Every structure is written in structure tokens, then in C-alpha cells.
Chains A and B, each alone.
Chain A
Amino acid sequence: MDQSLSQLCETVRAASEAHTPLLIRAGGTKDFYGNASSGTVLDPRSVAGIVDYEPTELVITARAGTSLAELEQLLAENGQLLAFEPPHFGANATIGGCIAAGLAGPRRVSFGPTYGGVRDFVLGAKLIDGRGQLLTFGGTVMKNVAGYDVSRVLAGSMGILGVIAEVSIKVLPRPMSHHTLRFEMTADTAISKLNEWAGRPLPLSASAWHEGTLYLRLAGASAAVRAARHQLGGEDFDNEQADAFWIGIREQTHPFFADNAPLWRMSVPSTAPALSIGEPQLIEWNGALRWLRTARPAEQVRECATRAGGHATLFRNGDRSAGAFTPLPAPLAAIHRRLKAQFDPLNLFNRGRLYLDL
């Protein structure tokens, strides 16, 4: 173990001896996300750098404090990308924070090899637990069923199980070609069209509907993109403008996300009809992700999500007293508490960030 890593373990060990709660925070680009937490700030950026990257293995291994932008730049230089297209929410984003937040971008629901959220691409991780021990889960190979798949669980864990020190991630080749189409249609038509198209072998790579316009990104082999454009019709969107548009959706710089109204992230089955809550909406992921701007009480928003068969997260702004995330049913909450106690017996890490009692 090198010095920076052993130092980080030592810091955790000392905190554990002194029972000092820790708030894991690197670039702080996702401070807004989850519940408020407190504790002595632990900045894992002392542990940074690419550990191993062999493009032909389709795997990159990096220390948690590695800059997300630099990592993506390295992949781009080698004609590859992070297939889950993660939002950065700021220049200081790190790969460790990206995994801990578990947020995927517009490509999440694309077809075939590129499908998936953050957890679908995590192959392995090193984690510092609440005793200051360095644990190694998974590996650097794509198929690995030795032991429980703890490294995937770290995606979206909000740092409650420990300090992510290193991750190995499956990467993919950049698509040969991409193109965005625009269609004028209602939310309900868009939802039904998107689901219908997703059932056909089309190179869908992203979708966003807002105020009567559906944006559809195609990406893949040039022949496939060409054929799909021909089949789907729609209006061509200039590639450069389209790239900027998708970055705006991913980074939430699109005007829909402006101002300080509470922003809700509603996950629903992709075929759920348009929400009848009467508030501004932006639809992504073939209908499975519905962004909502509303000041309604959490109870009402969550009831609307439940009726649609999903759940709602208070993503930015607003009153978090009801918790940022949808509460868990009792048997799952019990498993969460016991898991947390196994990894972090003194409850040092990110207290309350995921759920108030964890």
C-alpha cells in the first residue's frame, strides 16, 4: 500500500478511535444532493491518479480523487468513454464522488452494449471501512462472481459504507457516429413512441422531452444511425448544437433547471403516463425519468410517484425535513441498518446523508 493510501486509512483509524464523525467530501460538486450531514471533513483527493488503463481491456482503474474531467479526457484520447455519461456538476468533480452519488446521464437507457447506470459499469473497488481497514471487492475483469458484488453497491451509496479509495470501471468505445432528431409531440405521445422505439433494434442513445418537443439522440455504427434516421423521420438537429443541448441536460444548465424552485427527480416505469400533477416537467430515459419543478409538499409528490409505480427524490433546493430519498419498507430498512453496522460499526461516515437513521 502506498503512503497516501495508508495515510488515509490511518486518518480513518484515528477518527474511529476518537469516535469522530467524518464527512467525506472531495470537490464538493454534489453537496446539494442527499440529506444534510455533518462531521470532520475528510478529503480523499490525496489519493488520486490513474492506476491502470489498457484500452483493449475496456477497463480503467483510478484512485477515487482522480478528476472526472481528466479521466474522461484520457478515455476520449483513446476513443473511449464512460458509458453512463455522468453529470459533473462542476469542474472539481472526482471519480470517487461520481461513483458514490451514482448518478447517470442521458445515455442511461441506450440500447444494447451501452445500456446501464453507474453500477452496471463498476467492476471493482477498494474501500476503507469504519475500522480503517482497506477492503478489496470485485476486480478488473468483466466477469467475476467471486464473493458478493459489494463494489456495485457503492454506486449511489452516498459514502455511508466507507471511503471509496479506488475503482475499476468498464469503459466502451465511442460510437462511430451520432445524430439528434427533433419531433413536435405531446408528453404522452413521446412516452408511447419512445417505448415503442426501444422495442425495436434502433441505436437509441438518449431522449429528452420538454414543452412539446422530443429530442432523440442516435449513436452507433454509421449504417445503423443512417438507417434509423430514415425510419424515424423527425427534424435534423445540427450536431454541434445538439452536443451542447445534451450537455445542458446532463449538467442541468438547460433553462428548465434554472432558478431555485425545488427540483424533484421522479423514477417511474418507462410506460407510466405523463404525470397529471400540473407542474413543469422534463422527461428523460425513454420515459423512466421525470424531472419536476414544484413547491408542493414531499408527501404529495411522493404519492404521485407511488401512483405511477415509482419513487421520488428531492434533488435540489426545497425542504428536506421529509428526507431527500423515498423512505424504505421496514424489512429493507432493517437490512440497511445491519449492513451499515457491519461496514461502519461506529457510524462515522456521512451520518444521515442517505437516510436520517443511517
Chain B
Amino acid sequence: MDATRQRSLVDALRAFLPEDAVLFREEDTRPYECDGLTLYRQLPMVVALPDTEDQVRRVLQLCNEHNVPVIPRGAGTGLSGSALPHHAGVLLSLAKLNRILSIDPLARTATVQPGVRNLAISEAAARHGLYYAPDPSSQIACTIGGNVAENSGGVHCLKYGLTVHNVLRVRGLTIEGEWVEFGGLAPDAPGLDLLALVIGSEGMLAVVTEVTVRLVPVAQTARCIMASFADVGEAGDAVAALIADGIIPAGLEMLDRAATRLVEPFANAGYDLDAAAVLLCESDGTPEEVAEEIERMTAVLLAARATRIQVSNSEAERLRFWAGRKNAFPAAGRASPAYYCMDGTIPRRRLGEVLKAIQALEPKYGLRCPNVFHAGDGNLHPLILFDDADPDSVARAEAFGAEILELCVQMGGTVTGEHGVGVEKLDQMCSQFDRATLDAFLGVKSAFDPAGLLNPGKVVPTLHRCAEYGRMRVHGGNVRFPDLPRF
């Protein structure tokens, strides 16, 4: 690291930021070296912690003027390394911009700063009978700014949509420090729908300083069905049968046997440990509506060869059913020194096939891989269990993960459903998109950030990187594990 450059940047930032809002000593910047994906670590040159919009603007102006990369960061719970620092850049934490600015119960909107936690919005809206629908598993910690960057989903997005469907307006800054507003409180903002581009852009197009979200009424009641299946393929078919019957469940999740056995000792959810797959299927709405829907769902699931059906009879029981699913990641963390969570999405009809293929890969890499799955929208979360103290185990986990993502692309799916590309899936982007499309992404990036200073090196692989990756895939001799078959 260039100490002179670091010193002068720190001085320039301290001209308008308090001393404790500019971190540069290693012991202070170390906590920012990675996000939720701990496989990648990098110390930033400087960490800036502004607590007003105007300070954010001045940080950006300064960095733009001195050609310093800026890496925006929320709570750092992301799972793809989107917030991985740059060695010569400023890590711009927006965590201190954490105020709920206003809630308008009649218009059903909340306007908040980017550092407000996802769950805090719903908690604040609860007294009006409203909530913010997207509920990523990390919702107690993750921020709305991070959700906008990643287009976060959750277990209810089949029915209630992703971040992109629930954010009305984003106010932010360009890298030049100019104010911009995307979307608005009135529908169909004039011009191209830049809001759709900014949501999910992983902090590469603009820095978010204010977000207006849509709030929706809290359902009067919710009940959940837990259904067992003797075969994962049959469980997949049951999901299709529900949809074919015209039902859009509020939540529809699947755990395979390895996953139920992993989480049960941890969560005591009462899962059927003999079943090859357990399906959680939720209905919400008015009591009459839920009663009608639960009846229909039960009939469809039984006809689709469910071997056992339990329906929650109380809120406590419903939450217990969900406890296992919601605690799958912590349970994986307890059962294994480390786990690597994948995020591919596939057309649902390929589910049985894909789960069997993943099982078949386990002995090849010598690693276990339980699966939890947003069954309603085809989003898989295979959890590869490995030992992060053993470099060979780490390498096998990465190779296993890469092969799962390639499989998703082959099946007509995508390498990331909700966790983002970050630095993690740059190689797989080369498989999913052709060069012309990747170049169009680079074009979008340069339309917002001509100098390429906002979160550089994430999401879109360079021509060179794809060429390298192509060579590795074609010539088996160059890969780290030449004995492992690849696509």
C-alpha cells in the first residue's frame, strides 16, 4: 500500500469528517476486510463512515477528483463479495445513515436512509398494520441499502416480489457527487426505468442515500403445511402441481433429507427425518381465505404423493415449522467448520434432476452438500460443508460450487438468484453470457460511471478473465484438480 497516498487521503477526508469516521490503521480496517463471503479478504486503504448525505457527497467528490475507487457497504452481510474492499480504495460504509425518515400509512410508503435494517422497517410500520415484504434470511442485520444493491429476495418473494418490486424510489449520488433520483412516488417515472438498473447493480452505478419502499398490509392470519415426500423429484412435481392448480403460496420451501437432518438437532422443528424431502407450504390472508387455500393445497399435495401432511394449528407451531428453514445456515455453521452457500436458480421442472446431480457430485469432491431451496421460484441454496483450515478442502469446495453453478446454467437457469455476482461468480458469468452481452453490461456501467471508480472489478468479468476461464475449462491439464471431471 502506498503510505503517502493513504496519508494524504486520510487528511483530505478528515477535513470534513470527524476523526473517528476515517479509519486507516490495520486494527481498525480489519473488520471491513470481507463481507458475508469470508473466502475473499482484502484490506481497504481507508474506511470512511459518514453520517450525513452531504458527507457522502463530499467523499465521492474527493475520490472522483483523485481517481480513488469507492466500495459502498451496508451491514456487510452479502454472500458474494460485492463489498470486498479495494486495496487502493475507500470503503464507504453507509451504516451510520440509519434513520427512518418518514412513514406514510395512507400512501403505504416508508422513506428511510440506506443503513436502516430491513426488519426495522417492518417493526416501525407494524403499528399501522403494514410491513415491508422482502425478507432475506439476514433481515435482522442486513440494510435496505444493501438490499437495493443486491435486489434481495427472501422466502415470500414468489407471492410478494423481490426488492425491485417493492422499492418505489431511490435517491442517491453519482460518482461525481451529483444528486440523482430514480423512480418516484408517482408510477412510471419519465424516461428509461433506471430504477430497475440500479436495483441489483451491486453498488456499481450509484451510491444510495435514501430509499422509499412500498408497505403492504399484514395478513390477518397465516398457516403452514409441512409435507413429506419419499423422493425429491416427487416433491418437485408437487410444487408444479400446486402452481398448476392456480395457487401462489405465500411461502414454498424445500429441504432435502441431508438438510432436515442437519437442522433438526439445532432447531427442533419436528421435521420428518425419514422423508427424502420436506416441503413447507404457507397460506396467508383472511381466515376464510386461508382455510379455503389450505384445504386445496392439502388435496393437491396428497394427490402428488405426499407421504405425510401436518398443518400448523397455532402461530407457535407455524413458527416452529419455519425455524428449521430459517436456521439452516447457522445449523450448517455448527455442523461443519465452514460452509459455502450456493445460489443458483433453475426452472422448477429440472429440480429432481439437479438435486440428484448434486448428490452424485458429493463423493467426487469428498464433501457433503445438504440443500435448502426456495422451491416456489426455483432458487437453490446448496450448502457445501468444508474445512476452512484445510486449503485442499477449501479448493474442493470452490470447485464443487463452480460445478453446481455451471449445472444451473446448463439447465437453463442462472448462477445467482439473489446473492449477487460480486467477485465470487465472475467466472461463471463467462458461461452464462456471451461476450457481446457482457460488453453491454460494461457499457451500462460506463454510462453511469465513466471513470469506473464505483466498486470496480465486480459483477462483469473482463475479456481477459473469460479467456483464462475458457482455457481452464477446455484444457483439463491446467486446472487445480485435473483428476476432477468438468463440463
Please give the residue numbers on chain A whose beta carbons come within 8 Å of chain B beta carbons, in ascending order.
54-59, 79, 102, 108, 111-113, 115-117, 119-120, 129, 133-137, 139-150, 152-153, 155-157, 160-161, 172-174, 176, 192, 195-196, 198-201, 220-224, 226-227, 267-271, 285, 288-289, 309-311, 313, 325-329, 331-332, 335-336, 338-339, 341-343, 354-355
Contact flag A173-B247 (CB < 8 Å), given A141-B346, A145-B419: yes
Residues of A within 8 A of B128 (CB): 199
Contact flag A143-B130 (CB < 8 Å), given A174-B246, A342-B447: no
> Is B217 engaged at the interface, CB distance under 8 Å to the other chain?
yes
**CB within 8 Å of A: which B314-339 residues:** none
Residues of A within 8 A of B349 (CB): 54, 56-57
Determine the residue in chain B with the shortest Cβ distance to A134. Answer: B436
Residues of B within 8 A of A200 (CB): 129, 217
By the criterion CB–CB under 8 Å, are A113 and B248 in contact?
Answer: yes
> Is B190 engaged at the interface, CB distance under 8 Å to the other chain?
yes
Contact flag A57-B160 (CB < 8 Å), given A146-B421, A195-B106, A201-B286: no
Determine the residue in chain B with the shortest Cβ distance to A325. Answer: B190
Determine the residue in chain B with the shortest Cβ distance to A121. Answer: B165
Which of A58, A136, A309 is the one whose CB lies under 8 Å from B437? A136
* Distance A192 CA – B107 CA, assembled complex (angstroms): 10
Shortest CB distance A40–B (Å): 24
Determine the residue in chain B with the shortest Cβ distance to A116. Answer: B165
Top 3 A-B pairs, shortest CB-CB distance: A342-B443, A310-B186, A173-B246
* Distance A59 CA – B448 CA, assembled complex (angstroms): 31
Known: A145-B151, A147-B459, A325-B190. 20 other contacts (CB 8 A): A56-B348, A108-B187, A113-B158, A116-B161, A117-B187, A129-B440, A134-B436, A142-B345, A143-B417, A145-B414, A145-B421, A148-B459, A173-B246, A199-B130, A223-B291, A325-B191, A328-B190, A335-B448, A336-B192, A343-B443
**CB within 8 Å of A: which B88-147 residues:** 104-108, 128-130
Determine the residue in chain A with the shortest Cβ distance to B201. Answer: A148
Query: Can you report 23 A-B residue pairs in the complex whose CB atoms are below 8 A from each other?
Result: A55-B243, A55-B244, A57-B347, A115-B161, A134-B436, A136-B437, A145-B414, A145-B419, A146-B416, A146-B421, A147-B432, A147-B433, A149-B196, A156-B193, A161-B192, A173-B243, A227-B288, A288-B187, A309-B185, A332-B191, A335-B194, A342-B440, A343-B443
Determine the residue in chain B with the shortest Cβ distance to A124. Answer: B414
Of B35-43, B46-54, B372-380, the segment with at least 4 beta carbons within 8 Å of chain A is: B372-380
Shortest CB distance B299–A (Å): 15
Residues of A within 8 A of B425 (CB): 146
Which of B151, B178, B286, B374 is the one whose CB lies under 8 Å from A227? B286
**CB within 8 Å of A: which B209-228 residues:** 216-220
Which of A119, A141, A148, A341 is the one whose CB lies under 8 Å from B345? A141
Contact flag A136-B434 (CB < 8 Å), given A120-B161, A145-B200: yes
Determine the residue in chain B with the shortest Cβ distance to A324. Answer: B190
The A-B contact count (CB < 8 A) is 270
> Is B153 engaged at the interface, CB distance under 8 Å to the other chain?
yes
**CB within 8 Å of A: which B281-307 residues:** 285-286, 288-289, 291-293
Residues of B within 8 A of A331 (CB): 174, 178-180
Contact flag A150-B440 (CB < 8 Å), given A56-B348, A139-B413, A271-B104: yes
* Distance A21 CA – B20 CA, assembled complex (angstroms): 57
